[in-house]
A and B are shown apart, each in its own frame.
Chain A
Amino acid sequence: MTTVEERPHTGFGRTLRKEDVRLVRGKGNYVDDVRLPGMLHGALLRSPYAHAKILSIDTSAAEAAPGVKAVITGETLKGLGLAWMPTLSYDTQAVLATDKVRFQGQEVAFVIAEDHYAARDAVELIDVDYEPLPAVVDAKKALEADAPVIRDDKEDQTTNHIFDWEAGDAAKTDEVFANAEVVVEQDVLYPRVHPAPLETCGSVADMDPVTGKLTLYTTSQAPHAHRTVYALVAGLPEHKIRVISPDIGGGFGNKVGIYPGYVMSIVGSIVTGKPVKWVEDRAEHLMSTAFARDYHMRGEIAATKDGKILGLRVKVIADHGAFNATAQPTKFPAGFFHVFTGSYDLEAAHCTVTGVYTNKAPGGVAYACSFRITEAVYLVERMVDVLAYELKADPAELRMKNLLKPDQFPYTTQTGWEYDSGNYPKALQLAMDMAGYDALRKEQAEKRERGELMGIGVAFFTEAVGAGPRKHMDILGLGMADGAELRIHPTGKAVLRISVKTQGQGHETTFAQIVGNELGLPTADIEVVHGDTDQTPFGLGTYGSRSTPVSGAATALVARKIRDKARIVASAMLEVSPDDLEWAGDRWHVKGDPEQGKTIQEIALAAHSTLELPEGVEGHLDATTVYNPPNLTYPFGAYICVVDVDPGTGAVKVRRFIAVDDCGVRINPMIVEGQVHGGLADGVGMALMQVMAFDEEGNHLGASFMDYLLPTALECPSWELGETVTPSPHHPIGAKGVGESATVGSPCAVVNAVMDALKPYGVRHADMPLTPAAVWEAMQGRPIRTDLAIP
């Protein structure tokens, strides 16, 4: 039960979200709310084909249409050197197609008109002559010798191969497998899904022709990174670019990259001399923006007969779409997938990942995936259940037997991760106690006797979040450290400026609470400024659950700098040595004499006054910092899902879901629980209904919310949440980040539960989404390919 403490509120704990005052009243300010004087409207023409040559484009009718100001094609951009742009993975992507279209929904032309309706109508008047080409739809066939080559724009690219990457010790893993008593192999698909934030992507570009300054209002999770990329790509001077990311209606990684539409609004503003708005619609969003997953995995697990897991081996074909545009640290083309050894103590592990081009939209790292940890956790947790199936072992017991023990931390995995802290058995035991695990198993046995199908799914996950240490992690050469600036005004009110950008996570509250906790200031007295590159320090943005681990640490540290400076000012006020003062949560006072003290508010006023300060101490009370995390943080959790399956229809009902999360110290437990609730709903969605499948021609079969299904309250049980708290030893406040935990951990719990229910039918594995049809076909012994058109 969520309760909110009485205000005024200082420090950690449940408190109303500051941003909700505007958001729940409909007073938020989103990109599509931006209306500038003289603003024009842009609309994109998109390709109806997944793969086709462009023979010609005739824009004359569109140009002549009422209200139309300009029509821009790839040929126009070619002249400006802007037809192609770099991706976040050192590939190139067409801004507007010139030679070929490479996925259905690809950007072909851009119309600018006086209003949105005129722009949309004119888009239909553009006549494009296409020569359709065979499409590469099945990632598993992308590397076949006769597969059409998608990226013939690139010199030396003669296949659809992008990269091969590996992690772990192949020889040692082979040896462990060769000597193992039990080896089980399983093909596992994590299908292509979409983050589907309720707000689609868009931008308003305003290039001031006099000052040469570009102001870009845009749906960006990483405004600073975007500014730098625009500077590098378009040759615009960086101080003449201001990126404003106003209220964002959900991101989930979808709003990390730069889309052709953003670029076109900028080009449009330069061409017309007017502000240009571009906001895509739902179908455009689902068809063209960053997808997630699309990992075709073959897992192998090695164990002893009595269930000691020895090794894991995984081969992945990663479908990256038509342009390699995943957003992840440079050194990791498969993101953090090599954390796939999960929460277990193994002797050896090895994975290979092969990236391939297909005729689908680019993207790949999105939807709260923590840089591919979603895929990794799904793989290992499915493999553990597959092993349990073969050994006829209880999946909870098997996990308990193999989980890392508390005394093994910090623990270095077989693939090189250093897990910071954890007590895994405690979390799993708590989840089992909350679920009433033994009673559930008993109920299941009774139901099986009657032919009823009930399943209990267990999953344990370890996350790796808070990218990241700058020596290991960068995006396009930009290190992943975050700045923070804190200023205390003379009256003791504060303004915190941070680089991360909330998309609904509640940063304005959480970060104020961090400052409040460090300085004893009421949360209400701390303004959090974010989302405007002219007003905030540099940082890499919000994704990969990095805000609290990185910018949260920066915020705590910059507040501590203020506290240290306040000590000196207080010492001058009290005429004692700073060494004689001690901190009491909201004031510095003379050691042993709490009456002789000064609050931060009093100190702030003095710092701005005529008070004489010690030699070398500047006045005022402000500070800046840059935080370079020494390591990632490793939140974890134990999830148990209970489902009932209708044997006559295959329909799955999630009856219960127990989620025990350990994200270290919780700053605002209500916000943490909200994040977990959302992630669990995501997990139910992915496990049971969400997929972007494609037919043989590469037509997108999920381009609307009629076909791409988001779960509703009716598919979600009343979540049962539990917590353990294992602080991160290296984070200033011991927090670990939680934004993606539930999305990472929950799909496998649901799938494991459904597979557990189907055990009487001899079903060991079936791929997501487990729609009624997929479940029923699995029961008949003929599971379907969920990523292709159902024949």
Chain B
Amino acid sequence: MQVPAPFTYERATSVEHAIALLGQLGPEARVVAGGHSLIPMMKLRLARPEALVDINDLGGELSQIRVDADMLVIGALARHADLLASAVAGEHFKIFHDAEKVIADPVVRNFGTVGGSLCQADPAEDLSAVFAAVDGVAVLRGPDGVRQVRVRELHVGPYETVLEPDELMLELRVPIRPGGGSAYEKVERRVGDYPVAAAGAAVWLDGDTVREVGIGLTAVGAEHFAAPEAEAALRGQPATEESFQAAGRVAAEHCNPSADQRGPVDYKRHLAAELTTRALRRAAARARGQEA
């Protein structure tokens, strides 16, 4: 049995309590929600927090998935399984269901959380690319109040975010705009594996023209999990196979994959193009009301 290094454990009873505990315990404390990334890293002693603040009792406040005016709001403590099962999330952004179907396995999805995934900031994390594609905003709360950060600005590097040690992610907000469709495409060596590469796309069409587009990439070294150059190349272009392939090529050009046992650089770059193209194709079909 792998066992973590010694640590202390606190259980938060409210958001305020959690933030206060984080303040008291200092920068070596970590929030634990689903724990499906943090605990394995602790057992391998790759992560050695001095204290854990357990927020699992805050579900009432932090786990709702709902529409608020023109925003889809997803609580940070929503489980992957909740998001997968959420009709309202699927109605507005099919990309969430596409992605959640291929995140880990049912056991992990039952407990792992949306906020935990984003805060873990694993460079191969799926939801970071999904929220980059739909241009979601994270709502963070610290001792001095609440602030909003675009998910595209949340990550500053592998396993690093802009969150202060005593800040807690409360929810994610995604603007709902008409004429949109979204999709997620992933290649993995086996179900439940981290992606070899994955791409998410959200498009908004004016007739046959791409009015707005978001492209998220993961596991290929794309800065902030996004492909802004490919988005710029596609914005205003006709929503055709040629445009999508061209955008895919631009996305591949601007990402920076590294080789590992999931594949060499050239393959991952190829996948960035291929999967971006496929995601755009499906997203556009969905925007047109077709299921692809």
What residues make up the interface of A, taking CB atoms closer than 8 Å to B? 32, 116-117, 120-121, 124, 279, 281-283, 648-651, 688-689, 693, 701-702, 704, 706-707, 709, 711-712, 714-715, 771-773, 776-777, 780, 784, 789-791
Residue of A nearest to B263 (CB): A773
**A790 vs B191: C-alpha distance in the bound complex, in angstroms?**
21
In the assembled complex, the CB of A194 is this many whole angstroms from the nearest CB of chain B, namely 14
Evaluate contact between B193 and A709: CB separation under 8 angstroms.
Answer: yes
Which of B1-9, B70-78, B111-119, B133-141 sits within the interface? Answer: B1-9
In the bound complex, residues from chain A placing their C-beta under 8 Å from that of B278 are 648
Partner of B191, one of A279, A706, A712: A712
Besides A702-B261, A712-B190, A784-B264, 6 more A-B contacts (Cβ < 8 Å) are: A116-B1, A648-B278, A649-B271, A689-B189, A771-B263, A773-B264
Q: Which residues does chain B contribute within 8 Å of A712, judged by CB atoms?
A: 105, 190-192
Which residues of A are found within 8 Å of B190, using beta-carbon distances?
A: 688-689, 709, 711-712, 715
Q: How far is the CA of A689 from the CA of B2 in the complex (A)?
A: 24
Roughly how many angstroms separate A784 CA and B262 CA in the complex, as a whole number? Answer: 12
Q: How far does the alpha carbon of A707 sit from the alpha carbon of B3 in the complex, in Å?
A: 19
A-B contact pairs, 26 of them (CB 8 A): A116-B1, A116-B3, A124-B5, A282-B2, A649-B275, A651-B187, A688-B189, A701-B261, A709-B190, A709-B193, A711-B190, A712-B190, A771-B189, A771-B262, A772-B187, A772-B263, A773-B263, A773-B264, A773-B267, A777-B267, A780-B266, A784-B264, A789-B261, A790-B259, A790-B260, A791-B259
**A contacts with B: majority SS:** loop
* B271 CB contacts on chain A under 8 angstroms: 649
- B194 near A: Cβ within 8 Å? yes
Min C-beta distance of A709 to chain B, whole Å: 5
CB atoms of A707 and B264 under 8 A apart: no
Answer whether A117 and B3 are a contact pair too, CB < 8 Å, given A651-B187, A709-B189, A772-B187: yes
Closest to B105 in A: A712
A789 and chain B: residue at smallest CB distance = B261
Report if B126 contacts A (CB, 8 A): no
From B43, which residue of chain A is reached at the shortest CB distance? Answer: A281
> A121: which of B2, B6, B194, B275 is its contact (CB, 8 Å)?
B6
A776 in complex: contacting residue of B6, B105, B259, B270, CB < 8 Å? B270
Which 4 residue pairs of A and B lie closest in terms of their CB atoms, listed nearest first? A773-B263, A281-B2, A714-B191, A709-B190
Within 8 A of A (CB), among B56-109: 105
Query: Number of residues in B with C-beta < 8 Å to the partner?
Result: 29
| B125 CB within 8 Å of chain A | no
Which residues of chain B in 1-25 are interfacial with respect to chain A, using CB atoms and an 8 Å cutoff?
Answer: 1-3, 5-6
Q: How far is the CA of A707 from the CA of B262 in the complex (A)?
A: 9
Q: In whole angstroms, what is the CA distance A693 to B261 when docked?
A: 8
Q: Which residue of chain B has its CB nearest to the CB of A710? A: B190
How many angstroms between the C-alpha atoms of A650 and B196 in the bound complex? 12
Nearest CB of A to B185, in Å: 9
**Distance from A65 Cβ to chain B, minimum over Cβ atoms (Å):** 11
Contact (A715, B191) CB under 8 Å given A283-B2, A649-B271, A773-B196 = yes
Chain A residues in 8 Å Cβ range of B193: 706, 709
**Which B residues, 28 to 53, have Cβ-Cβ distances below 8 Å to chain A?**
44-45
A651 to B188, CA, bound (A): 8
B171, CB-defined interface residue at 8 Å: no
Contact of B274 with A by CB under 8 A: yes
CB-based nearest B residue for A773:
B263
A572 → B minimal CB distance (Å): 59
Q: Contacts of A689 on B, CB cut-off 8 Å?
A: 189-190
Tell me, in angstroms, the Cα distance from A326 to B134 when the chains sit together.
55
Q: A648-B274, A709-B193, A776-B267 are in contact. Are A790 and B2 (CB under 8 A)?
A: no
Given A689-B190, A773-B267, are A707 and B261 also a contact pair (CB < 8 Å)? yes
Distance between A48 CB and nearest chain B CB, rounded to angstroms: 12
Contact between chains at A649 and B274 (CB < 8 Å) = yes
Cβ-defined contact, B1 with A706, below 8 A: no
Give 1 or 0 for each of B246-268: 1 = CB within 8 Å of chain A CB. Answer: 00000000000001111110110
Bound Cα distance from A525 to B2, whole angstroms: 42
Instruction: Select from chain B the residue with minimum beta-carbon distance to A280.
Output: B1
Q: Shortest beta-carbon distance, B259 to chain A, in Å? A: 5
Of B6, B44, B190, most buried by chain A (CB within 10 Å of CB) is B190
Contacts of A117 in B (CB 8 A): 3
Which of B181-203 touch A at CB < 8 Å?
A: 187, 189-194, 196
- Please name all residues of chain B whose beta carbon is closer than 8 Å to the beta carbon of A776 when the two chains form the complex: 263, 267, 270
Q: Give Cα A704–Cα B1 distance, bound, in whole angstroms.
A: 13
Asked if residues A279 and B1 are in contact (CB atoms below 8 Å), the reply is yes
Give chain A nearest CB distance to B7 CB in angstroms: 12
Residues of B with C-beta under 8 A to A283? 2, 44
For residue A706, which residues in chain B have a CB less than 8 angstroms away from its CB?
Answer: 193-194
Residues of B within 8 A of A709 (CB): 189-190, 193
For B262, the closest partner residue in chain A by CB is: A773
Cα of A712 to Cα of B261 in the assembled complex, Å: 19
Q: How far is the CB of A268 from chain B (nearest CB, A)?
A: 17
Q: How far is the CA of A32 from the CA of B274 in the complex (A)?
A: 48
Of residues B45, B194, B260, B263, which shows the largest number of chain A Cβ atoms within 10 Å of its Cβ?
B263
Chain A residues with Cβ below 8 Å from B6 are 121
Chain A residues lying within 8 Å of B260, measured Cβ to Cβ, are: 790
